[in-house]
Structure 1
Amino acid sequence: MNILKRYNRNRLMGLFSLAILIGFTACKSSTAIYKAPNVNAFRGGKLPAPPGMVYIPSGTILFKGSLDSGNVGKNVSVSAFFIDEAEVTNKQYREFVNWVADSVAVTDYLNDGQYFLEIAGEQVGQKRINWAKVKKISPIWKSNDPAIQERIAPMLEMQGNRRSLNPEMIKYRFSYLQSKGNVKKKYVTDTVSVMPVEDIWTKDFPNAQLASLDANYFTHPSFDYYPVVGVTWRQARAFTDWRANEMAATVLKNSYLNGYQLSLSLPTEAQWQYAASGKVDPQDTIVGMRMTIDGTEGKKKLAVNFKQGEGTYSRDGATFTLPVKSYMPNAFGVYNMAGNVSEWTLDAYSPSAVVFVNDLNPALLYDADQRDGDALKRKVVRGGSWKDNGEQLNSETRNYSVDYEPHSYIGFRCVMSAFEMPTVQSKTRKY
């Protein structure tokens, strides 16, 4: 009996030791998940940005309402993000227009199997465009092939002796999460005509000789790197959706951002003001608009494109817009946040917005329906333009335009969410 007890006790001890050994081995193999790098490894706190963008670290600004609102403002903080280093150009926006026109031509008019991918298991009626094939003849609407021209004729119209796209036929469809104040958010689909208003110059300034800009500004290669204008807020937002899809499929596919849930949009006005200020903290002395020295006269001149006085436009080097990388960038590496063109932001306009918004990543969002009045369609416009006086160039100055109204002095740029890199402030130290 004692022998049997001893046997059972030894057997149990053996099994217990084996369990401990197995558990210890398993723990040893998974210990790597508990090892976190020291924050010193991240010193520098700056991420490589996608092409055409710069990284803006998190920071704080003094956010104010409109001058007549009587509000002195409050400090708000903005998380890290990427922003276009320059305004969206005519060349970039033409790429968007041509992509939409190619999509319409292939799906609605050519309907030719050679331009579609064959995908096993795809439902009847669903087709995917073979962009590798389409890009060989893109833009299709400029093709000189008589057969193609005949089939896509409804897409085109003549402007004088020039063939052009019919704005009513070139539309982009996309979905977004609609925000309407305290109303429950929901996904809606919008269809937007993407063609800019090319004769916007004479529409804005009917008593000025600007017909040559109407005819050439958006289409001629001489203006490739000038900021696109004549674009509504809704068109600008459509562009950000298209660009997000393009970046996800191409630029970010093989980068460290692969798999990152992409969020591309117009900047909120807080993001815009922070990027324009060129400083991380309201107490910093770095200014957003750098000064240059005129070596001949030894005087300081503001490096920005604006109206210097009544009838005086040319002293800064231009009488209207300039290429988007003219002058020097600010301390963040961002060009022309003041002057050149004013810029659309994501926010709905309210004189007292500072009262309503949060103090972290503030945004006042309202996506108006067609039946809403113009007061609900007002969107914040930031930064003075080529036709504005100097007082409009302050990074805190706010203005607005309705979301369906384009102008020759309003453009835009895009922002993209970024994960925050620990900076030198958060490095590991001894208490």
Structure 2
Amino acid sequence: MIKTSITSTFILSAATALIMSSFSSPQARLSPPPGKSLPAPPGMVYIPSGTINYKTGSDSAAGSKNISISSFFIDQAEVSNKQYRQFVNWVADSVAITNYLNDPSYFKEIKQGSGATAISRKIIDWDKVKKKSPFDDHSPAVQDKLAPMFVMRGDRKMLNPNVLKYAFTYLRSGGNTAGQYVTDTVSVMPAESIWSKDFPNAQMAMMDQNYFYHSAFDNYPVVGVTWKQARAYTDWRGKEFVASLKKNSYLKDFIFTFSLPTEAQWQYAAQGNGKGKASTEKMAANFKQDEGLYSKDGATFTLPVKSYSRNEFGIYNMAGNVSEWTLDAYSPSAIEFVNDLNPVLLYDATPNDGEVRRRKVVRGGSWKDPGILLNSDTRNYENQDMPHSYIGFRCVMSAIEIPSAQVKAK
């Protein structure tokens, strides 16, 4: 796990049956008072439904059409290292408990159903784990059992990235298996030495060795994460949120969906007032303003996720800092066949699919990009399995639409 007591990495093995079973979070108070709007989940802002001119490119020849987008919540800031480490640590605890310790005291029994059809099963007791992680137990017996979870990287003892894996199930889109439920098992650790890999013949050792692990970078955007790793995080975060509603009688049975933002949601949220894009000539954002001018905006690399001013929706860094994964598969002609209501182009590529089908849309521009990539309607793409030091992400959650004043009876 990534705690100060363990210098650096977290890793989990593919113990997935229990990894996805139980969550524990502070109770969320989301029942809206009569006539009031639904409060946003922690760290998110509410985006009301609206209509925009949806574009798939910034030049005059790019296609566009008017689309409508229903309301949703979106992260106010990019997912930070600290937030993503919570996910990794949760995976590490899960793997340690289910695959290595086999200590019954870390489990509790729950019953589902009633009468003759009632089923009992054991799940991890997260209330206990949160009080004391198995990695905080320094007894020789426990340390011996957990030893296979670690590897050495020079003088540093780290959790093994090949052990830290998370499984999640979803309905596949596209291809011969479209419409079938599939389970992906994803290694959750950000890519090692990603800064040096992205910038060969550049001095990046400090960033490689500290960026994800040291508290000095807690509030910086997580990078080195693939599209699938980002989706795994949204799945985990959604389950954590649903668990937090278990005592909320109004919302406990409502099915909320966390995901990456669709390309259309991202563009709508980035435009703020829905009217267009800002000029990059005097933009307060983290981007490369000319050849070699990385630090002219105040930073050479990334900045904390709440740097600069918020846009009209109250969101930080939709332009610059890090580019962001979206949910959409990339196609130059996507606008020709997506719907005009909540458009999205979904394609879950398999390992046998070619590179073109593995492309996912990336939006927003980053700290190393020129201003043209920061426009809200400029799109780019990357292979879903390729992490980079300049691509991060944020989450969205489905929202209960709040009727506007125009629908009230006269």
Q: Same fold (TM over 0.5)?
A: yes
* Match of residue 19 from structure 2: none
Name the aligned partner's letter for residue 219 of structure 1.
Y
Shift of residue 257, structure 1, vs aligned partner: 3.8
* Match of residue 97 from structure 1: 88
Contact 2:172–2:179 (CA under 8 A) maintained in structure 1: yes
> In the TM superposition, what whole-angstrom CA distance separates every residue of 1:344-402 from its partner, at most 9, and x where no partner exists?
00000001100010000000000011111111110000001000001111000000011
Tell me the TM-score normalised to structure 2 length: 0.86
| Mapping of residues 248-263 of structure 1, within 5 Å | 248-250=242-244, 253-254=247-248, 257-263=251-257
**Structure 2 residue 263 is matched with structure 1 residue 272:** no
Change (3 A) 1:142 1:162: farther
Structure ID, larger Rg: 1
| Mapping of residues 212-223 of structure 1, within 5 Å | 212-223=206-217
* Match of residue 136 from structure 1: 131
Shift of residue 145, structure 1, vs aligned partner: 3.2
Shift of residue 68, structure 1, vs aligned partner: 7.9
State the number of aligned residues.
372
> In the TM superposition, what whole-angstrom CA distance separates every residue of 1:101-160 from its partner, at most 9, and x where no partner exists?
100000000001111113468879x5311111222222x346533322210111111112
Give the whole-Å Cα distance in 2 for the aligned partners of 1:119 and 1:71.
55
> In the TM superposition, what whole-angstrom CA distance separates every residue of 1:56-108 from its partner, at most 9, and x where no partner exists?
00111211224689443111111000000000000000000000010000000
**Structure 2 residue 316 is matched with structure 1 residue 365:** no
* Match of residue 77 from structure 1: 68
**Structure 2 residue 73 is matched with structure 1 residue 54:** no
Partner of 1:135, secondary structure, is helix
Change (3 A) 1:47 1:273: same
Name the aligned partner's letter for residue 41 of structure 2.
P
**Unmatched 5+ stretches in structure 1:** 1-40, 292-299
Shift of residue 207, structure 1, vs aligned partner: 1.3
Question: 294, 304, 308: which is aligned to 2:289?
Answer: 308
Question: 199, 202, 216: which is aligned to 1:208?
Answer: 202
Contact 2:272–2:313 (CA under 8 A) maintained in structure 1: yes
Shift of residue 172, structure 1, vs aligned partner: 0.3
Contact 1:66–1:352 (CA under 8 A) maintained in structure 2: no
Give the whole-Å Cα distance in 1 for the aligned partners of 2:198 and 2:153.
20
> In the TM superposition, what whole-angstrom CA distance separates every residue of 1:189-213 from its partner, at most 9, and x where no partner exists?
1100001113100010011111001
Question: 373, 380, 387: which is aligned to 1:392?
Answer: 373
> In the TM superposition, what whole-angstrom CA distance separates every residue of 1:222-279 from its partner, at most 9, and x where no partner exists?
0000000000000000000000110111267438543321111000000000000002
* Match of residue 325 from structure 2: 344
* Match of residue 118 from structure 1: 109
Give the whole-Å Cα distance in 1 for the aligned partners of 2:202 and 2:323.
21
**Structure 2 residue 369 is matched with structure 1 residue 374:** no
* Match of residue 98 from structure 2: 107
Give the whole-Å Cα distance in 2 for the aligned partners of 1:142 and 1:161.
21
* Match of residue 355 from structure 1: 336
Give the whole-Å Cα distance in 2 for the aligned partners of 1:257 and 1:393.
38
* Match of residue 311 from structure 2: 330
Partner of 1:192, secondary structure, is strand
Contact 1:57–1:80 (CA under 8 A) maintained in structure 2: yes
Contact 1:325–1:336 (CA under 8 A) maintained in structure 2: yes
Name the aligned partner's letter for residue 253 of structure 2.
G
* Match of residue 158 from structure 1: 152
> In the TM superposition, what whole-angstrom CA distance separates every residue of 1:40-67 from its partner, at most 9, and x where no partner exists?
x84xx84310110000001112112246
* Match of residue 174 from structure 1: 168
Contact 1:290–1:330 (CA under 8 A) maintained in structure 2: no
Name the aligned partner's letter for residue 336 of structure 1.
N
Give the whole-Å Cα distance in 1 for the aligned partners of 2:249 and 2:288.
42
Partner of 1:236, secondary structure, is helix
**Unmatched 5+ stretches in structure 2:** 1-33, 113-117
Partner of 1:151, secondary structure, is helix
* Match of residue 27 from structure 1: none
Partner of 2:269, secondary structure, is helix
Give the whole-Å Cα distance in 1 for the aligned partners of 2:213 and 2:296.
27
Give the whole-Å Cα distance in 2 for the aligned partners of 1:90 and 1:376.
29
Contact 2:190–2:225 (CA under 8 A) maintained in structure 1: yes
Tell me the TM-score normalised to structure 1 length: 0.82
**Bigger helix fraction:** 1
**Structure 2 residue 397 is matched with structure 1 residue 425:** no
